[in-house]
Amino acid sequence: MSQKTSHKSIHEIMEDPDFKKLKSQKDSISLVLTILELVLYFGFIGLIAFNRELLSSKFSGAITVGIPIAVGTIILSWVLTGIYVRWANTKYDHLVANVKEKVGG
């Protein structure tokens, strides 16, 4: 009998407009940030594989062009993570709290 209540609660949660909004926003930002990260990472790997001459050319003194590009790739990955964390702290947590409040969780 408790299983029926549990399934009903899950169904109610799944149909809740706030839950749908939460899921839609999370899916959207996750997809966009994942695509950006993959383009960034595989773009860098593609440069390594197909344009070594560019990466090995001197930038300044003993520093090659590849070093700032690699550092930029790492820093941009951190920035993308920071964007997600900021979004989660400002929007996602609020929507989760709304859904929890509705279901008594």
Instruction: Give the residue numbers spanning the domain of 37.
Output: 23-103
Domain count, the chain: 1
**Within a domain: residue 98?**
yes
**Within a domain: residue 6?**
no
Q: What is the pLDDT of residues 24-41, one digit of tens each?
A: 999 999 999 999 999 999
**Within a domain: residue 32?**
yes
* 74: pLDDT strictly greater than 50: yes
Place of tokens 């773009």: 43
Q: What is the pLDDT of residues 89-101, one digit of tens each?
A: 998 888 888 878 8
**Within a domain: residue 3?**
no
Q: What is the pTM (predicted TM-score) of this model?
A: 0.76
* 44: pLDDT strictly greater than 80: yes
Amino acid at 49: A
Contact 80, 36 (CB under 8 A): yes
**Within a domain: residue 95?**
yes
H-type alpha helices, 16-65 = 17-50, 52-56
Q: Please tell me the predicted confidence (pLDDT) of residue 34.
A: 96
**Within a domain: residue 18?**
no
**Within a domain: residue 94?**
yes
% of the chain with per-residue pLDDT over 90: 56
